[in-house]
Structure 1
Amino acid sequence: MSSLTQQDDTEAREPILDTVDRVSELCFGLFMALTFVGTVSATAGEDAGRKMLYTALGCNLAWGLADAVMYLVRTLTNRGRRLTLALAVRNEPDPVAGVRTLRDALPPTMRTLVSDSELESIRARLAAKANLPDRPRFVRDDFFGAAGIFIIIVLSTFPVAIPFVILDNVSAALLVSRILTLAMLFAGGMALGRHAGWGSWKAGISMVTLGVLLTMAIISLGG
């Protein structure tokens, strides 16, 4: 438990999954499902809809697992990079060198906006911090985030594939599936627009346009 407390102290707490994470994973799941559902007109036959659902679901189960694991890898890697920087600054005996290390770690566009006195204040706080962990560790929320990614991708399968199970007419099911997919893309685009401070309706329409273009590309490539 103490290790988790130490890890929490090394960085500001962030949401488990922010809006960009949630919408991105939703879109990934939708398009992965589309790569399979788009072939239904060519494979229509007895029980084709149910087979397509199982195929799309199996694909997104695998993709969701892979993406969840990579989320954990990415999280630990980024945390390790920040911890390495904090330890390097804390253990640097020369204050000027410590400030230089902090400045080098800033994005290029930020380096001219932060003064040496501001960086020195950060360096001094790091130098006085005695409870930094010796290595990056997972915390509980990391696993909640990975589980959230897995669930989002898997659930995104159903609006795309369920119409083929409910409707006997393949053409009608394909139309309903496309409409549901575009509606979800529109909602995701609106969420991104609000998050970024853009016009939510414009962002929603842009996401739908992107979805149409990607769907056309998927179909043209045999998806």
Structure 2
Amino acid sequence: MATRDLKSRVLDPIDRVSEIIFGLLMALSFTGSLSVATAHDEIRTVLAAALGCNIAWGLVDAVMYLVGTATERARASRRPKSARATLTLSDFRGALGVFLLVTIATFPVVLPFLLISEVWLAMRVSNGIALLTLFIAGYQLGRYAGFVPWRSGFVMAAIGALLVAAIIALGG
């Protein structure tokens, strides 16, 4: 399967990595607010909200993927305005891929809170996992773009950290 060309892939590498980053940042905006939660029930509520938010956003992102695909296809075909652009099974697989990437990206960030009872330690482990995942995502994007991969990884981790800080500061 490694020999498949880019056009036969459901999502290109930029889309795949971007969806993972979006999911990570959303989950981090919730787990970042755990520093104010002290009771076990509050923590479970925040974690459930993080998972629910990523599932909801994954659904929205998947539907918008289909809308964008249909729009581009109709525009490219230059059909009369009354004609409809049809979506293929591959388009729906792409939408499912978007949904799964956003949703699954939540779990590595949330998992430490389920396994570690001390909130401060769970938060540090969660943040470390998120930064490592952002580094890997940046590394992959850098490799794909022809940049120095490790430098792209560090830049993505730094951008992610700054975005999460801004998200939390803005109330997210």
Q: TM-score if structure 1 supplies the norm length? A: 0.70
Q: Percent identity?
A: 47
**CA shift at 1:135, angstroms?**
4.0
Contact 1:28 1:153 in 2 (8 A): yes
**CA shift at 1:43, angstroms?**
1.7
Does residue 1:74 correspond to 2:23, yes or no?
no
5+ residue gaps, structure 1: 1-11, 89-133
1:95 aligns with: none
**Which of residues 35, 38, 41 is equivalent to 2:35?**
41
Does residue 1:170 correspond to 2:133, yes or no?
no
1:155 aligns with: 104
**CA shift at 1:20, angstroms?**
0.5
2:10 aligns with: 16
Does residue 1:52 correspond to 2:46, yes or no?
yes
Structure number with greater Rg is 1
CA distance in 2 between counterparts of 1:82 and 1:34 reads 38
Q: Which amino acid aligns with 1:155?
A: I
Contact 1:83 1:135 in 2 (8 A): no
Contact 1:68 1:150 in 2 (8 A): yes
Q: TM-score if structure 2 supplies the norm length? A: 0.89
User: SS at the partner of 2:171?
Assistant: coil
CA distance in 1 between counterparts of 2:111 and 2:44 reads 8
Q: Which amino acid aligns with 1:52?
A: V
5+ residue gaps, structure 2: 1-5
1:188 aligns with: 137
Distance 1:188 1:198, change over 3 A: same
Does residue 1:65 correspond to 2:14, yes or no?
no
CA RMSD of aligned residues (A): 1.7
Asked which structure has the greater RCO (Cα within 8 Å, sep 6+), the reply is 1
Contact 1:16 1:142 in 2 (8 A): yes
1:112 aligns with: none
